[in-house]
Amino acid sequence: MANILCFHLFLFVLFTFLSQTPTEAYNKGFSFKLIHKNSPNSPFYKSNNFHKNKLRSFYQVPKKSFVQKSPYTRVTSNNGDYLMKLTLGSPPVDIYGLVDTGSDLVWAQCTPCGGCYRQKSPMFEPLRSKTYSPIPCESEQCSFFGYSCSPQKMCAYSYSYADSSVTKGVLAREAITFSSTDGDPVVVGDIIFGCGHSNSGTFNENDMGIIGMGGGPLSLVSQIGTLYGSKRFSQCLVPFHTDAHTSGTINFGEESDVSGEGVVTTPLASEEGQTSYLVTLEGISVGDTFVRFNSSETLSKGNIMIDSGTPATYIPQEFYERLVEELKVQSSLLPIEDDPDLGTQLCYRSETNLEGPILTAHFEGADVQLLPIQTFIPPKDGVFCFAMAGSTDGDYIFGNFAQSNILMGFDLDRKTISFKPTDCTNQ
């Protein structure tokens, strides 16, 4: 949810969560499609005739069931982030929320919304939905949120992010409808989400909320996994500066297994139920030259977070400086030093992305190769800049630029993350 090279940190949850009792089991995994905002399949795509691709509406009341189909939802890229489409309520309303493995809450801007940021698409209107069910503040569930009551005696929430973004509203249960390959809807019922009536922060007009995909109990992954019986998913993100007509995927359940030749796996250092996906980065090689994460002999476990909601990768300042010096040594191009728009970033003039050097991220037990398309981004025509930055506050992030073209499997039960080099444009 941040712009390029803006820092996106751990969110702070202002309440705890009572897990719901599963009422039925899922029989098959399912997947989400991720597409670029300029794709003809994107709702923000404009052709000469200006059209929007819409799925047909289903006005019957959704049932709390999950049939054996192959459901999917479309996702667009937007300012360095991915927007995943969720269809809420009955009749269904399309919501495009930021896909964020660094947070938990699933929320959308809802009417009435007097204190909200500008949103281009219509907001969700809870009173129009037959399946919208607010959680009363007298309920047992709300007691785990600090007995917070709205003036309407509903369970109020306040969810804050470290970049000062905030969403406030009421918690409710709602049905989420996905599309499927045979054209029929697939409905997941009783998903707890935040109906945000006062939201502010670093959002743009295409952002309709945030889809929390973290490891905490409120996340979409955990809620679906509680019903499914297995908390795991995989993602394959398309690089942002490739053909806009291509798409990647997010898979759940059986289809999320990452296996086969080339797969490497690193353990999660996160605690059970913790939001952040923390792993241990030992260092990064530039070509054959290994650059250690820190200069001391001690390496902290769980020193970096895997975050799909942050574009750039943030590492310790001293580590970043050593890495940049090695990049300069191995690059055949001269860095740009006369463009004030680029600040202190390491940038090169080139009409196409750089041919090298190749970087390798050395996670505990997993060496992940990063090609220039994953480590250099074009902020403007004819310029490519290193998509990493130094940080001094002790919180470090492996961002979504570096995650692209890698099939990544997040297994919350086994506490592992797997990596497999993949052309995500062909998924």
Q: How far apart are CA 121 and CA 196, in angstroms?
A: 15
Catalytic (active site) residue 100: yes
How far is C-alpha 123 from the geometric centre of its chain's CA atoms?
21
Query: For 267-283, how does the pLDDT look when each residue is reduced to its tens digit (9 = 90+)?
Result: 999 998 899 999 999 99
Query: Which of residues 243 and 416 earns the better pLDDT score?
Result: 416
What pLDDT sits at residue 237? 86
Tell me, yes or no, if the two domains 30-254 and 260-426 fold the same way: yes
Rounded to the nearest 5°, which phi and psi values hold at 202? -90, 65
Q: Return the CATH class of domain 30-254.
A: mainly beta
Query: For 171-210, how does the pLDDT look when each residue is reduced to its tens digit (9 = 90+)?
Result: 999 999 876 556 677 788 889 999 999 999 989 999 999 9
Query: Which of residues 412 and 162 earns the better pLDDT score?
Result: 412
What pLDDT sits at residue 248? 76
Q: Give the tokens for residue 329.
A: 């040594």
Give the CB-side neighbour count of residue 244, counting CA atoms within 13 A: 12
What pLDDT sits at residue 226? 80
HEC letters along the chain? CCCCCCCCCCCECCCCCCCCCCCCCCCCCEEEEEEECCCCCCCCCCCCCCCCCCCCCCCCCCCCCCCCCCEECCEEEECCEEEEEEEECCCCEEEEEEEECCCCCEEEEECCCCECCCCCCCCECHHHCCCCEECECCCHHHHCCCCCECCCCEEEEEEECCCCCEEEEEEEEEEEEEEECCCCCEEEEEEEEEEEEEEECCCCCCCCEEEECCCCCCCHHHHHHHHHCCCEEEEECCCCCCCCCCEEEEEEHHHHCCCCCCCEEEECCCCCCCCCCEECEEEEEECCEEEECCCCCCCCCCCEEECCCCCCEEEEHHHHHHHHHHHHHHCCCCCCCCCHHHCCCCEEECCCCCCCCCEEEEECCEEEEECHHHHEEEEECCEEEECEEEECCCCCEECHHHHCCEEEEEECCCCEEEEEECCHHHC
pLDDT value at 424 more than 70:
yes
Give the mean model confidence (pLDDT) for residues 3-10. Answer: 36
Query: For 70-88, how does the pLDDT look when each residue is reduced to its tens digit (9 = 90+)?
Result: 445 666 677 788 888 888 9
pLDDT value at 22 more than 60:
no
pLDDT value at 9 more than 80:
no
pLDDT, mean over the chain? 81
Query: For 286-309, how does the pLDDT look when each residue is reduced to its tens digit (9 = 90+)?
Result: 999 999 999 877 889 999 999 999
Catalytic (active site) residue 307: yes
Query: Which of residues 264 and 240 earns the better pLDDT score?
Result: 264
Q: How many residues does the chain have?
A: 427
Catalytic residue, from 100, 104, 190, 207: name it: 100
Instruction: Indicate the domain borders of the chain.
Output: 30-254, 260-426
Q: Does domain 260-426 have CATH number 2.40.70.10?
A: yes
| 36, 397, 398 from 389: Cα distances, Å | 25, 10, 11
Query: For 128-159, how does the pLDDT look when each residue is reduced to its tens digit (9 = 90+)?
Result: 999 999 998 888 777 765 568 888 888 999 88
What pLDDT sits at residue 29? 54
As beta bridge partners, residue 234 has: 251, 409
Q: Give the predicted TM-score (pTM) of the model.
A: 0.82
Catalytic residue, from 94, 190, 307, 411: name it: 307
Percent of the chain whose predicted confidence (pLDDT) is above 90: 53
What pLDDT sits at residue 97? 92
Of the candidates 265, 156, 274, which has an alpha carbon nearest to the alpha carbon of residue 221? Answer: 274
**Lookup result for tokens 């300012």:** 79
pLDDT value at 165 more than 50:
yes
Query: For 308-360, how does the pLDDT look when each residue is reduced to its tens digit (9 = 90+)?
Result: 999 999 999 999 999 999 999 999 999 999 899 998 999 999 999 888 899 99
| 167 Cβ neighbours under 8 A, 6+ residues apart | 105, 107, 157, 158, 159, 194, 196, 198, 199, 209, 210
